[in-house]
Amino acid sequence: MGDIDPAYILPKEHRPNFSTFVEVDEIPIIDLSETSQENLISKIGKACEKWGFFQIINHGVPSELITKVENEARKFFELSIEEKKKLKRDAFNTTGYHDAEHTKTTRDWKEVYDFLAKDGVQIPCSDDPHDLELCTQKNQWPQSLPHFRKIMEEYGGKLEKLSYKLLELILLSLGLADGKFLDCFKNHLSFTRLNYYPPCPFPDLALGVGSHKDPCILTVVLQDDIGGLQVKKNLLGGWVPVKPIPNALVVNLGDVLQVWSNDKYDSPEHRVVLNSQKERFSYPFFLFPGHHIIVKPAEELVSEQNPTKYKAYNFGKYYANRTHADFSKQEVEYKEIHQYKILD
């Protein structure tokens, strides 16, 4: 990316102020090999309620597979820009390559490749509630990397399976049945992403990913040892680095879980800061429901004393709205979860 393009420079109030970073060791580390499920559920519940972020070890994803993913990801991002743009995503097929140039006026300093867990799923073509047309989403694979598809599909499959296990534990921590939302995953829109953050000559002016919350159910991330991921913790006065731990995966809750929990658990705000000397890679899996799902607080968590805090919304239309907003470069209504909040 060379010298920084003015389009990447953030307004002063959004730039990373490195003096506001809060160094703490409080972000929980949870061992999934814990023999007592009761203890495991309790630890996860506390992590979800306090942080919405935690790291997991002994998660069952083989280190050999992780190494293969890291190697193939590097090969992909080393391809020529012409080769990568053969796989470029658009407003109607959201898989493949993009460098975030289209997503907003101020850009994220990164390159991305996405692939779906279920190839050929459908999403609404429009966020118009009267438009019932569906667009088919098809994975796009680099033909010049013969092992890429097999390795990435194996990795995505492992993280999908792990995400279901984590969701089961999180639901149990809320006092809900572990199979509560099983119907959500027919033709689900979950996907895996490869993130590449090149070195940035002016890391104090830009961000790898701007401050945001994930719109999914939950996210499971493999990050490298460079660091840069941060979670906002207002009670601690700033941004807390999520320190890389060898062979650990990072878990954060998404907006759908915040709504299902009726605000007992929060979808945490997070971002990625940049490094002037070193490139960074990360490999998240985003667990999404299907486009047909109506998202609303679980009825078991709603009462006269704790009334519902969100309007119900159709996930497919919400997803389409966010996607089209990215490509139109315009602010639109009902793109963020707080816009569905029922005000007192």
State mean pLDDT over 240-261. Answer: 96
Enter the pTM of the model. 0.93
- pLDDT the model gives residue 180: 93
- pLDDT the model gives residue 5: 76
Q: Tell me how far apart the alpha carbons of residues 124 and 292 are, in angstroms, rounded to a whole number.
A: 9
Residue 75, amino acid: K
Model confidence over 276-292: pLDDT tens digits? 999 999 999 999 999 99
State mean pLDDT over 174-189. Answer: 93
Name every residue whose Cβ is closer than 8 Å to that of residue 130 and which is 6 or more positions away in sequence.
none
3-class secondary structure, 77: helix
Is it the case that residue 102 has pLDDT exceeding 50?
Answer: no
- pLDDT the model gives residue 9: 81
DSSP 8-state class, residue 306: S
Mean pLDDT of the chain: 89
- pLDDT the model gives residue 105: 45
The whole domain housing 54 covers 6-340
Is it the case that residue 106 has pLDDT exceeding 70?
Answer: no
49, part of any domain: yes
Model confidence over 124-148: pLDDT tens digits? 887 777 787 888 999 999 999 999 9
35, part of any domain: yes
CATH number where 34 lies: 2.60.120.330
What pLDDT band is residue 113 in, cutting at 50, 70 and 90?
Answer: very high
Q: Tell me how far apart the alpha carbons of residues 129 and 294 are, in angstroms, rounded to a whole number.
A: 13
- pLDDT the model gives residue 19: 58
In the chain, % of residues over pLDDT 90: 72
Note every long-range contact of 256-260, with CB atoms under 8 Å and residues 24 or more positions apart, other chains counting.
Answer: 256/215, 256/216, 256/217, 256/288, 256/289, 256/295, 256/315, 257/170, 257/217, 257/218, 258/337, 259/295, 259/296, 259/297, 259/310, 259/337, 259/340, 260/174, 260/181, 260/295, 260/296, 260/297, 260/298, 260/301
Residue 330, amino acid: Q
Q: Where is average pLDDT lowest: 163-167, 250-254, 299-303, 337-341?
A: 337-341
What pLDDT band is residue 338 in, cutting at 50, 70 and 90?
Answer: confident
Torsion on CA atoms 222, 228, 232, 236, rounded to nearest 10: 120
244, part of any domain: yes
- pLDDT the model gives residue 326: 60
- pLDDT the model gives residue 287: 98
Instruction: Say if strands 134-136 and 122-124 run parallel, antiparallel, or are unpaired.
Output: antiparallel
Model confidence over 76-95: pLDDT tens digits? 999 999 999 999 988 778 89
What pLDDT band is residue 324 in, cutting at 50, 70 and 90?
Answer: low
82, part of any domain: yes
77, part of any domain: yes
1, part of any domain: no
What pLDDT band is residue 25 in, cutting at 50, 70 and 90?
Answer: low
Nearest to 170 by CA among 36, 67, 44: 44
Q: Tell me how far apart the alpha carbons of residues 279 and 197 are, in angstroms, rounded to a whole number.
A: 6
67, part of any domain: yes
46, part of any domain: yes
- What the block records as the tokens of 129 is 């509630």
Model confidence over 215-246: pLDDT tens digits? 999 999 999 999 999 999 866 668 899 999 99
Is it the case that residue 24 has pLDDT exceeding 80?
Answer: no
- pLDDT the model gives residue 132: 78
Number of domains in the chain: 1
- pLDDT the model gives residue 88: 93
Q: 213 vs 25, 64, 141, 150, 270, CA distance in Å?
A: 22, 31, 28, 30, 6
Q: How far is CA 114 from the centre of its chain?
A: 11
Q: Tell me how far apart the alpha carbons of residues 39 and 35 are, in angstroms, rounded to a whole number.
A: 8
Is it the case that residue 103 has pLDDT exceeding 60?
Answer: no
3-class secondary structure, 170: helix
- pLDDT the model gives residue 1: 45
State mean pLDDT over 296-304. Answer: 96
Nearest to 259 by CA among 325, 318, 187: 318
